[in-house]
Amino acid sequence: MRLEHPIFKGPLAPKLDLGSIDTPADYRSGPGGKDLPAKMESWRVQTGKFPDEVDVGLVSSPYGFEDSPDTEWISSGVNSKGPRSVALGRHGNFFLWGFAGDPSQMTESGRRVFVNAVAYMKKFDGKTPLVSPISQSRDLALLYTQYLAKYANADWLKKMYPEEVRKSTGLDAAKIEAYYSENLEYVRVVDGAFAVDPDAKTLGVSNRKPAILDRILARLAEDEKDALAWRLVKNYFERTFDGAAEFRAWVEANRTWLFFSDVGGYKWFVDHHAKRGAGAR
């Protein structure tokens, strides 16, 4: 939980019913589950037993959730997916209150935080999501290895890894994990599989950090037709550019607001809400 978040501060001051619970058994079988402590910090939001008294709620994937600047992971909730799943969170003008209980089932602090969340959202009028999820976060290239022992023959799982990776590792979980740990900053999804981008790797620069922009610009300054630089531009930008000068001008005009999103499609995007707020065109 991010207790420093504004919804826990006001306008209503909630007296949070904090405590600890036994770590849910379902969390143990998931990735990283073995390392979880025996007890977890908790806040009682609602009462009522599922399914007789209250419905199951909804949690969202935490993987890549915060890879765009218009998102906030606020809290998980007891669920069957994992301890980082999003039960309270925001993406753009959308807020998830993942708990299904109605106000009569909420604790007093639950009701107060709910009211705070409603009030908090007012400032996001017009702030539609900057990206839509069309791809999987690179974190999953590592996490899925923990499912290999259990689902080694599952096609959906095998397809996550490119053929050359499957061949070179024999789908050995430890080898795949080592491979992606070493190359995580160069990963992008190609045809639904976690591929390592040879161009980013050649430069030795993460494809999701601003340094790659400078490396591309530097190469284009030396050679306007640098093939590697243009492949990177083609792979990591939504729009096309008519030459190095246009690309340079565009990067410089938008640099302050550029961000990289895995789930948005492994591209650099402009935070147009922030740019517009700054009065830039």
> Which stretches of the chain bind another protein, using CB under 8 A?
11-13, 50-52, 55-61, 64-65, 68, 71, 81, 85-86, 89, 91-100, 102-104, 111, 114-115, 117-119, 121-129, 132-133, 263
Q: Please report how close the Cβ of residue 17 comes to another protein at its closest, in angstroms.
A: 18
Nearer to another protein, 54 or 217 (CB): 54
Question: Taking the complex as a whole, how short is the minimal distance between the CB of residue 135 and another protein, in angstroms?
Answer: 12
Shortest CB 168 distance to another protein, Å: 31
Output the smallest distance, CB 224 to another protein, in A: 37
Return the number of the residue (36 or 100) whose C-beta is nearest another protein: 100
Residues 6+ apart with CB under 8 A from 72: 2, 5, 66, 89, 90
**C-beta closer to another protein: residue 103 or 243:** 103
Q: Which two tokens stand for residue 267?
A: 């591209």
CA distances (Å), origin 224, targets 167, 214, 231, 235, 243: 37, 14, 13, 17, 7
Select 133 or 188, whichever has its Cβ closest to another protein: 133
Residue matched to tokens 């604790």: 107
Bridge partners (DSSP) of residue 160 are none
Among residues 200, 33, 7, 144, the alpha carbon closest in space to that of 87 is found at: 7
Question: What is d(CA 204, CA 215) in angstroms, rounded to the nearest whole number?
Answer: 10
